[in-house]
Chains A and B, each alone.
Chain A
Amino acid sequence: MTGLEHYNYWIVIALMMSGLYALIARGNLIRKLIGLNIFQASVFLLYISVGFVRDGAAPILAPGVDSYSNPLPHVLILTAIVVGVATTALGLALAVRIHGAYGTIDDDQLDRQRD
């Protein structure tokens, strides 16, 4: 109907790539984790976009409604969000320890400190 058929996908891809870029390009470990989170959140959007049904209702059964969005991607992404935050937590704990051991959380400076 419009040129918007794949609009969701493409913006989602742009989001993913900005997250991925931040993850590679930025030296600060916490920034890398932020990049990782943006990357993952955009993948969640991809799934939810796949599950979306126009004019459908949220998948909560109600009388008189016969078109729902697909519940399965929602289930998967609920799991994935939790997995993502668990990873972030572990990464942050590592960052704290690295700061304690090296006095910095900048990737480039870590490489300069040889043991």
Chain B
Amino acid sequence: MTAGDWLPLLLIVPMLGAAGILAAGRVPNLREGVTVVTSLLLFWVVVQLAMSGAEPRWVLTEPLPGLQLALSPEPLGLLFALIASGLWIVTSVYAFGYMRAKHEAKQTRFYAFFALSIGAAMGVAMAANLFTLFVFYEALTLSTYPLVAHHGDDKARAGARTYLRILLGTSIGLLLPAIIWTHQLAGTGEFTPGGILAGHAGPTVAGVLLVLYVLGVGKAAVMPVHRWLPAAMVAPTPVSALLHAVAVVKAGVFVILKLVVYVFGMEFLAGVPLERALLWLAGFTVVAASTVALRQDNLKRLLAYSTIGQLSYVVMAALTLGTTAGLAAALHIAAHAVAKITLFFTAGSIYVASGKTQVSQLDGIGRRMPVTMTAFTVAALSMIGLPPTVGFISKWMILQGALEADQLFVVLVLVVSTALNAGYFMPIIHRAFFRPERAVAREHGEAPPPMVAALVVTAFLTLLGALAADILVSTLAPVMTAGSSG
């Protein structure tokens, strides 16, 4: 098999998986088996593609002259595909424990749409041009909608409606015009190292375009288009993990990074005045979201606001411009993915095991659930940016990139937000391990084994990532250099 043959499998495997899940719906064990096999298969396909090192191109269809629906791997896309498909395996395992323990209804539909949304995420990752990106971006929104609305009650529907309204609204209202405008200016929407807009757009037009793109990619949750993320907290925890770590928000920041590198080109973007304003907006989002998170008592909401802040780190790093900052942005996507999925896994485990959802209820829980809370601690350290975690390395690189680019503002944001991050994570760890347990509502230990296993794996990845960061950086470096010198 040549590398080109692997590309269609990225879409076919999840779709066949979804079909298989529906077919096996009556037999839960078989259905779960299909899910795991599909996820493993998909991960294996992505690894094969990454190992081959080739950059083939697969054109699904050409609906309009010059407008292709095409997939083509490149290092950034492979990174995102690896994260999404890899974490899908873990999330599936976790979901078996969670969904069964909570006796959730409609599990077949849940796993089927889960598989479809992973397929859409693969499409986003490998999109060869803006049009393809848009198609799969919307497909991702639509395929995750039933997951967010899973509970089917009024609250879930209202949350899902907000989710849909903001994501569809921004993508149709801002992203689509930006894409069409880009086509009009550059005559193409193909992702090209070094960008396609240089020489076709003046600094003002490029600035307006950048604003449209950054706000139009609502999944990146830059304020003021972040409100869908807390609203989507009505979903079951594995969905939150999917949204925050595996596919949705990652797709958002990934798209912005891809746009900066392949559509604008870093060098061209440096001459765009409005670019600074967006950098400040991202920086503001980091600080503001962290401040809001400080005041949350509901653990999942706290994590949601923490995500908004962490995503804007990536956007901020991407907009800092420069090789180091670009690499830092890519690395932080990975770092945040493994750490945040661990945190959501622990939140879900706590809920399943003890029924607790609020931070203020967690006194002494570390003694009942030592494994879970240790994993939580590792992930929280990564969030704050402390060694020996991968979060430390990515944050350090953002700092380096900021210094290289003489962006004192970014440095300042980093310092303040790190303090804020510590401010909301440290008290939780302190409560869990050092405060005595209050009145015991019910006896409980750890969550079901699949859940614990999943969160241990992701916590290990958080540590392991620190060691693997080098490989990642050296793989991605050529892309960023092409971006800043091309």
Instruction: Tell me, yes or no, whether A and B come into direct contact in the complex with CB atoms closer than 8 A.
Output: no
